[in-house]
Amino acid sequence: MSTDRAAARGPGGGDRSSRPLAATITTLAAPLVLAQLAQTGMGLVDTLMVGRLGGPPLAALSLATLLFAALAMTIKAVDVACQTFTARRVGQGRDDQVGTVVATALTVVVVLGGAASLVLLRWPGRIMELVTPDPEVDRLGAAYLHWRAVGLVPLLVFFQLKAMGDGIGWTRVGMLAGLGMNLLNVVLNWLLIYGHAGLPALGVAGAAIASSLSGAAAAVALLAVYLRPGPRRRFRLLARGNFHRELVRPFLAMAWPPAVQTLGVVVALTTFYVILGRISTATLAVGAVVLRLASLSFMPGLGMGAAVQTMVGQALGAGDVRGARRAAWTGMGLAMALMGACGLVFLLLPVPLLRLFGLDEALVRSGVPALRLVGAAQVVDAVGLTLAGGLRGAGHTRSVMAVDVVAGLILMPPLAWLFGIAMGGDLLGATWALAVWFTLYAAGMLALFLRPHWHEVRS
């Protein structure tokens, strides 16, 4: 873990050139990007494999995944506080207090995740009825929600342990666990969706079981790594009294804004899917594929934002405001280059990408303009995703949340309805609403980051 330890030391003093800083950020961010890709890859693989079963299973998977994310990813947002508090303590040289941070995070997500699991297990069909009138899509989606609920708590544990490692600077550990989770998911999907090796063909439900088992395995893997004698002693991970009740309030104060933000994003995207479904089931299917592809290009920005969050948190913990600022700007430039490259692929190769999902030629043709528009918006979106990480590293989670809720939840859905349905723009028209969301979010993050006191710690 020598490179991870080097990355964990933060951006350093003001005399360092941009080249070593960029190299430090890249060393820290590369595993985060790969981990994000692995996480998104699970959903992409599910879409690719379930898409072979036809339109209703694909629609059910897309809607049920979003509904599951509404609960799971909202609670998962606690990892923002876990990573920021960990980075701050490492920057201050208080490694022995990391155990109290992760103990608080795990307590919160186990309690909240257990309650969410009970909701999903008790009313999966009723939850699906909120977003679809199709009985077949409802039935398939309810089965998916049931089996994802079983693996919700282990998945949340995995995310908090990964956040702790990212805050320390040991990003490769989370990357390897995420890649392993994705590979296991592929194998289990092949076995359970299609019924190979003598197992029953479970379709959409098989995809859910595979994801739940993969998430649990990843959590066990991280526990095995962090509970080794070295990390366990250094960070006091099993010390008695690690859970500090007085830490819960400041922890939740930092965690609830990203939780609300995540919920807002999921609700906005669910509404977007509902609008596409009002146009036609075929439009919903191809729109889901476009967003799955787009989600891959978001990963460099999210990974770079997570790296910037760690470096800003560690730098501010050490009192290095200039280093924190330079880390954010450098990370933004790297993210723009990476996401711009992804966007270029969408612009140049939309047809082969859409054909990977088994869409017929008519659906491919309808998806090409939307995918190209999403590709063109990548550079702008990189600005918002990266600077949001820097602002979170300084504890400004409320401001980041407010901008995203206004742009995504309040403005985007009405614009999608206006452009897609009222003005007859169909999928391309609705996708323009997404482009407006990304642009407003980037402008908001830039405005917040340019404020004179953006670096003042809010934790």
pLDDT, tens only, 106-160 = 998 999 999 999 999 999 999 898 877 788 889 999 999 999 999 999 999 999 9
Q: Is 129 contained in some domain? A: yes
Q: Is 100 contained in some domain? A: yes
Q: Is 177 contained in some domain? A: yes
Q: Of residues 317 and 363, which shows the higher confidence score? A: 363
The pLDDT value given to residue 15: 41
Q: Determine which of 47-51, 173-177, 198-202, 409-413 has the lowest per-residue pLDDT on average.
A: 47-51
Model confidence pLDDT, tens digit, residues 68-81: 988 898 898 889 88
Q: 296 near 357, Cβ under 8 Å?
A: no
Which tokens sit at 421? Answer: 């349905």
CA 451 – CA 388 distance, rounded (Å): 14
Q: Is 458 contained in some domain? A: no
Q: Is 336 contained in some domain? A: yes
CA 352 – CA 368 distance, rounded (Å): 10
pLDDT surpassing 80 at residue 31? no
| Cα angle, residue 269 at apex, residues 304 and 266 outer, rounded to 5° | 70
Q: Is 233 contained in some domain? A: yes
Q: Determine which of 1-10, 138-147, 204-213, 346-355 has the lowest per-residue pLDDT on average.
A: 1-10
How many independent structural domains does the chain possess? 1
The pLDDT value given to residue 88: 83
The pLDDT value given to residue 158: 96
Would the pTM of this model clear 0.85, i.e. be above it? no
pLDDT surpassing 80 at residue 104? yes
Q: Is 45 contained in some domain? A: yes
Q: Determine which of 196-210, 213-227, 318-332, 432-446 has the lowest per-residue pLDDT on average.
A: 318-332
The pLDDT value given to residue 438: 95
| Residue span of the structural domain in which 266 resides | 2-449
Confidence class of residue 382 from pLDDT cuts 50, 70 and 90? very high
The pLDDT value given to residue 457: 58
Mean pLDDT, the chain, integer: 87
Q: Is 274 contained in some domain? A: yes
Over pLDDT 70: what percentage of the chain?
94
> Residue 146 CA to chain centroid, in angstroms?
22
Confidence class of residue 221 from pLDDT cuts 50, 70 and 90? very high
The pLDDT value given to residue 19: 53
